[in-house]
């Protein structure tokens, strides 16, 4: 089960010194382990079909150099807030809000990663899409 909770920074008045107890038991082995989070600001790009025409030749060069397939610029290891979704398994598609029909935006990605030992599905990603028109509308989760 996936749960998204919205909080306002202004409502957070003190830092937690002890993490809360999970609401579920670890019967499936999917509870997160305590760890440190380090942030890194990166430049994120859309998938190749959505990339501006003037940048496409450089992308093709990068794909040849890295051998990383056509999604070399959007597949980042680790966890990502915002940015562009990857489309390394399917063609790009839009997720529409089930409440209002607005095109949803990527909120969060958990990508399989050797460094952190996180594996999602068959070495894929868990992506959460939200409605930009109203945060109270239902989110959509996608395993890619």
Per residue in 89-142, pLDDT (tens digit) is: 777 888 999 999 999 999 999 888 887 788 888 888 899 999 999 999 999 999
Going by C-alpha positions, the residue among 93, 91, 89 that lies closest to residue 129 is: 93
Residue 5, Cβ density class (10 Å: 0-12 exposed, 13-18 middle, ≥19 buried)? exposed
Name the phi and psi angles at 81, rounded to 5. Answer: -95, 130
- Please give the pLDDT value at position 25: 59
Name the phi and psi angles at 34, rounded to 5. Answer: -60, 135
Q: Is the pLDDT of residue 56 over 70?
A: yes
User: Sign of torsion, CA 12 14 19 24?
Assistant: negative
- Please give the pLDDT value at position 65: 82
The pLDDT tens digits for 2-55 are 888 788 888 888 887 887 666 665 565 556 666 667 788 877 777 777 778 888
- Please give the pLDDT value at position 64: 81
DSSP element (H, E) containing 140: strand 140-143
In terms of pLDDT, which residue wins out, 57 or 131?
A: 131
User: Sign of torsion, CA 24 26 30 34?
Assistant: positive
- Please give the pLDDT value at position 140: 95
DSSP element (H, E) containing 64: helix 56-66
Q: Is the pLDDT of residue 70 over 60?
A: no
CA–CA distance, 79 with 59 (Å, rounded to integer): 23
- For residue 89, the 8-state DSSP code is S
- Please give the pLDDT value at position 103: 96
Comparing 41-45, 51-55, 62-66, 67-71, the range with the smallest average pLDDT is 67-71
pTM for this entry: 0.74
């Amino acid at each position: 089960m996936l749960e998204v909770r919205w909080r306002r920074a202004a409502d957070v008045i003190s830092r937690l010194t002890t993490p809360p107890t999970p609401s579920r038991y670890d019967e499936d082995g999917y509870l997160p382990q305590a760890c440190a989070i380090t942030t890194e600001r990166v430049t994120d790009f859309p998938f190749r079909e959505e990339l501006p025409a003037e940048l496409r030749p450089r992308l093709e060069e990068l794909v040849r150099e890295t051998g990383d397939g056509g999604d070399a610029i959007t597949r980042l290891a680790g966890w990502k807030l915002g940015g562009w979704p990857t489309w390394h398994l399917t063609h790009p598609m839009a997720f529409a809000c089930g409440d209002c029909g607005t095109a949803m935006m990527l909120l969060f990605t958990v990508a399989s990663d050797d460094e952190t030992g996180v594996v999602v599905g068959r070495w894929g990603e868990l992506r959460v899409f939200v409605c930009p028109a109203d945060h109270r509308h239902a989110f959509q989760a996608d395993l890619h």
